[in-house]
Amino acid sequence: MSNETSNISQSMLTELNSVFTQTFGAAPARHFQAPGRVNLIGEHTDYNDGFVLPCAIDYQTLVAVTPRNDMTVKVVAVDYSNQQDEFSLDCEIEAHATQLWSNYVRGVIKHLQLRGHVFKGANLAITGNVPQGAGLSSSASLEVVIGETFRGLYKLSLTKAEVALNGQEAENQFVGCQCGIMDQMVSACGSKFNALLLDCRSLDAELISMPENLAVIIINSNVKRGLVDSEYNTRRLQCEAAARILGLTALRDISLTELQNNKDKLPEVVYRRAHHVVSDSERTVLAAQALRTNDVVQLSKLMAESHISMRDDFEITVPPIDFVVKILTEYLGDKGGVRMTGGGFGGCMVALMPHSMVDGAKQLLVERYQVETGYKETIYICSASDGAGEF
């Protein structure tokens, strides 16, 4: 992967190498990267075995690394004031008491061991420019880059999909957030200029070419996602309850029409959660087809419906995000689409629009968002990018 395909700046790379050299006494041997992601449509469908349509973005987590001859792993986190961690592969890997970032690293490595992989230690330095707490999967990017680093360093017999699954396991079982597979899978397997239509049950993935006439814009509301872990797990339990009551393995196994016909079997709030998941999964398949044929009118409609469903049925949006979606929907009409993306309760929106409308959208946000909400937006102009690999 070359610098031209990412937002990894020379100064970022220089600082990473400098911290590595200062910490470990020599320059790093190799570098690996894994990108964040934005989900174009299909929210909270992944852990219900449904469909999602994300793309990897050109913001990454970057690791500098040198293998060791012993069983010690030493890590320094550039973005956390050069905090350090050290643990042994010969001992049971336990959670770090105070450093959450350490647990993503420890969890991935522990789960590689649990899968039967044998490897030695390493010296690692980590940095990144994926916005944290914004719903762009900085955590999945970290999990995948650590898995990819050890895969590459020790020639582990792992596919990219298995690196993703290992990262998800670590987040579910070691970190304790019950995420689905989407974030890790697109970080590992993304492709430049393409979105990824992912069947979260079979893990079958189809690359969907992104229309060149549409820009991918991410708007960070800068509303911190304070409720996301507890509420995320609550939503997951509600979806599992709906499936259990209806006698399904997962909500993937019912159509929207069938769900509507069985509405009276479910508590009202559980029905609404299920209604979002089933309808958004169906919208995702339609959106992939709209991307294939560059049907922007259909894409605009589907993204609008998805946001309304997240707002009313799944109840994961917040007023500042609803405001942005409203004003950008009015601005774009049927020439583009906008919706909240990510787990909810803050974070980001994603918009697809003609390049000629980007400056007007940015101006509209600058003029109206902070005045209306008290928050200041951050805008990222992105492109669909390659998944994890050596940098």
What is d(CA 242, CA 269) in angstroms, rounded to the nearest whole number? 10
Tokens of 92: 């049971």
- What are the residues facing 62 on neighbouring strands? 33, 127
Q: Answer for the pair 262, 246: CB distance below 8 angstroms, yes or no.
A: yes
229 is annotated as an active-site residue: no
Place of tokens 């949006």: 317
- Which letter does DSSP use for residue 172 in this model? I
- Which letter does DSSP use for residue 211 in this model? P
Catalytic site residue from 58, 183, 280, 313: 183
Q: Which residues contact 227 (CB under 8 A, 6 or more apart)?
A: 345
- What are the residues facing 209 on neighbouring strands? 194
148 SS3 class: helix
What is d(CA 87, CA 64) in angstroms, rounded to the nearest whole number? 18
Strand 72-77, strand 122-128: pairing: parallel
> How far is CA 107 from each of CA 36, 103, 147, 345, 351, rounded to the nearest angstrom?
19, 6, 10, 26, 34
130 SS3 class: coil
With residue 164 as reference, give the H or E element that holds it: helix 160-169
Number of H helices, E strands in the chain: 11, 13
Tokens of 254: 């019912």
Catalytic residue numbers?
A: 183
